[in-house]
Structure formats: structure tokens, C-alpha cells
Amino acid sequence: MLSAILLVCSLHAAAMANPQADPAPETAVSSFQLTEEEQERVLDLFQATDEKISKDGVLELVYNFESEHQSLGDDWFPPPGNRGQKVRWSRDWEGNCEGVNGGVIVSDSGQWFHSGVWQPDVRMELTYVSFLGGRRGDMVAAVFAWSKKLRQRVGSNLGRQLVRISGTKATGGVGPAPVIVYEDHHKFGFELKDGSFSTLINGNVKQQTDNKKVLKNLGPGQVGLVWRGTISGIVPELKIRGKIDLDWAADQIPPLRKRLDQHREQIAAAGR
């Protein structure tokens, strides 16, 4: 009996001493994190009034267009021009109305997009004040656009109506079209998260959809403003917060591209 016990103990000790007997599980590759230097390089891509970014790529940009610092327009296309253009800086009395002392004026029908590319995890909010009373069919929409040439578009028409958009034209909507009222301050926007698009009024959700036809082949895209009709109004402030598309950022920052590609190679190797 004693010899049997000694044999079991010796076998157990041998197994503990041999690391090959029970290999440790593979270490998972951690998620990609931006270094402090990379965070600064991403922020350098923009000219916002206020900006910040987290190490996991959540970027926040605030544009105070009332300041009329023309460098703010460098992040947008078309950049705001002078009088007579559909997107222009206010001048003299043109941008003055109750509670607003300047900004970017949009008029007629047009579009205005931010240069950054975002994952479909982004929120955009702005203030819009009209210089005219609205007519039936008028639209001022905060938009997320994706796919080749940004053809796929979904928007928040003053926050009250969720619209599919082709070019600058609404092709379908959820909710009644809002009425544009002279000098009303519209604080509206949208949030795109977890495959669902929501319109926002004063930060609150009004309409929402996760319809796969509306959000067909949803992927990285750009945010902006699309308007149509008898439109003339001003945007004094705008805010974007979301997950910046790291591939787009890496295309502008070569060291980030190198490290991002290496990280993906590690993930691929760990999965083999």
C-alpha cells in the first residue's frame, strides 16, 4: 500500500515539473489602443474649436462657427465661401438674429460634409436658425452618408422626421415633415449606434430605425448637412462625437498605418 502511494506522488511531481504536459492557453491579442502621440496626430488632422480623443479612438469635435474663425471651414467641403455661395460665412448684419451673432449660412439646395470618416458609431448635433418661413417639402437634415461616393444616405430632418436621401432629395420618411419657422432655434441631430439610426431634438430621440433597407450595407461614412427647397439659415455651432475610422486616420498618418497593420497581423496569427 505504501509503495502504491509513493508511486502516485512521484507521478504527480513529475507532471508538475514538466511544463509540456499541460500547455498554457494562448494569450489573446488585446484591442488596438492609440498611443498619446497618435492621439495628438489624429487631433492635428482637424481645426475644431474644441477637440479631444480617447485611446480607443472616440473623437469629439466642437465647432463654434459664431467665432467666424475661417480655419474652422478647413474641415468641411465645400469650405464656406463669400456672398452668393450656398455655403458661406455670415457678414455684417447677415448673421444677426436673436441669440446668434454669426456663423455659417446655408441657402437654396445643397450639401456640406465633414472631411473625417467615422465608424457607424457617431452622433452629430447642431443649432440651425432659419431666416425664412418654410414651405412644403423644405428640408434641413443632419446626415450620415456611406458607400462609394456617399450614395447611401440617411438623415434627421430638423430632428422630427427620419429621411432616406438621394443626393439632396428625400425619397422616403418616418414621421411628419417639420415646419420651418422664421428665427426658431432648432437644436437637432442624429445618433447612429449598434445598427440603429435615431433622430434627436434637444438631445432626445424622436424617430428611430434599424431597417436593413434604410441602412443597407452600413459601414464607415461621413457626417454632414443636406438641405433642399427655399432655404436660408445659419449654423452657429455644431458638435460631432464618435468612433473615428482608424483606417482613414492611418492613411493620413504613416506610423499609425504601420502599427495598425502589425496589430492586425498579430490577430490573424493568433487565430490560426
Residue of 212, 234, 228 whose CA lies nearest to 68? 234
Q: Is 124 within 8 Å of 164 (Cβ atoms)?
A: no
Residue 27 has pLDDT above 70, yes or no: no
What's the whole-model pTM score?
0.87
Question: Which residues lie closer than 8 Å to 269 by C-beta, 6 or more apart?
Answer: none
Q: Give per-residue pLDDT as tens, 213-260.
A: 999 999 999 999 999 999 999 999 999 999 999 999 999 999 999 999
Task: Indicate the domain borders of the chain.
Answer: 36-261
Q: Is 78 within 8 Å of 53 (Cβ atoms)?
A: no
Q: What letter does residue 108 receive in the DSSP assignment?
A: S
Residue scoring higher pLDDT (248 or 102): 248
Q: What is the mean pLDDT of residues 194-213?
A: 97
Mean of per-residue pLDDT scores for the chain: 89
Torsion, CA 195, CA 199, CA 205, CA 207, rounded to 10: -80
Torsion, CA 172, CA 203, CA 72, CA 45, rounded to 10: -90
Question: Among 181-185, 188-192, 222-226, which is the least confidently predicted range?
Answer: 181-185
Q: Is 225 within 8 Å of 235 (Cβ atoms)?
A: yes
Fold classified for 36-261: Jelly Rolls (2.60.120)
